Amino acid sequence: MAQHQSVTIVMVEDDDGHARLIEKNIRRAGVCNEIRHFTSGTEALDHLFDPKVRDNGPLLVLLDLNLPDMSGVDILTKLKADERLRLAPVVVLTTTDDQREIQRCYDLGANVYITKPVEYETFSQAIRQLGLFLSVIKIPEAS
């Protein structure tokens, strides 16, 4: 699991309940990577653009679109505009299944888009599959 340990998961989610459910399901999938949770866009960006974080180690971002201080789309745009952070895979996790919004996220460079269904089994399954996804992908090292 050494390879996996090296990837840090940054979760941007203002709903603590969602954050808890996501974390539980990721752990259930057997993923033990560090998860750093932020409940606002500002906090998350401050952390991500901190040189100690930005320039060190691979990252994976779990991003909710509905945040109190900004739209997740703004965060996505900023990440993809940065030469280092744009390498980090971004998984968009949100409640909408609006095709236009999904398309927009993919256009901006999102790697995966997951709808949070109210149906919990589907949701947990999606998160567990994400865990599986995390266990197989190779995150490019920022050099």
Partner 1 sequence: MPSHDQTGPSGPPIDFKALFDSSPNPYVLLLPDFTIVGMNEAYLRVTMRTREDITGRNMFEAFPGEGASVEQLRASLERALRSGTPDHLALIHYDIPRSDGNGFEERFWSATHTPLLNAAGEVAYILQHTVDVTELHRLRMAARATYAPSGLEAQVEGDVFRRAQAVQEANRSLDAERRHLRRLFEQAPGFMAVLGGPEHRFELANATYSQLIGNRDVLGKPVREALPDVAGQGFFELLDNVYASGQPFVGRALRVSLRQGPDAAPEEHYVDLVYQPIIGADGSVTGIFVQGHDITERILAEQALQESERKFRILADAMPQMVWAARPDGYHDYYNARWYEFTGMRAGSTDGAEWNGMFHPDDQERAWKLWRHCLATGEPYQIEYRLRHRSGQYRWTLGRALPIRNEAGEIERWFGTCTDISEIKEVEADLQAANDEIQRFAYIVSHDLRAPLVNIMGFTSELEATRATIERYHKAIVERVPELATPEARVAVEEDLPEALSFIRTSTAKMDRLIGAILKLSREGRRVLTPEPVDMADLLAGCHRSLSQQLDGTGTEFIVEEAPDVVSDRVALEQIFGNLIDNAAKYLDPARPGRIVVRGQDAGVYVRYEIEDNGRGIDPKDYDRIFDLFRRAGAQDRPGEGIGLAHVRSLVRRLGGAISVSSRPGVGSTFTVLLPRTLHTASEAA
Residues that bind partner 1 (CB under 8 A): 15, 17-18, 21, 24, 66, 95-96, 98, 116-121, 123-124
Task: Supply angle C-alpha 94, 96, 98, rounded to 5.
Answer: 135
Shortest separation between residue 99's beta carbon and partner 1, angstroms: 9
Shortest separation between residue 105's beta carbon and partner 1, angstroms: 15
Residue (4 or 24) nearer to partner 1, CB:
24
Residue (59 or 75) nearer to partner 1, CB:
75
Shortest separation between residue 131's beta carbon and partner 1, angstroms: 16
Residue (56 or 66) nearer to partner 1, CB:
66
CA pair distance 70, 73, nearest whole angstrom: 8
Shortest separation between residue 15's beta carbon and partner 1, angstroms: 6
Q: Which residues of 112-127 are buried (b: 16+ CB within 10 A; e: fewer)?
A: bbbbbeeeeeebbebb
How many CB atoms lie under 10 A from the CB of residue 87? 16
DSSP string, 114-131: EE--SSHHHHHHHHHHHH
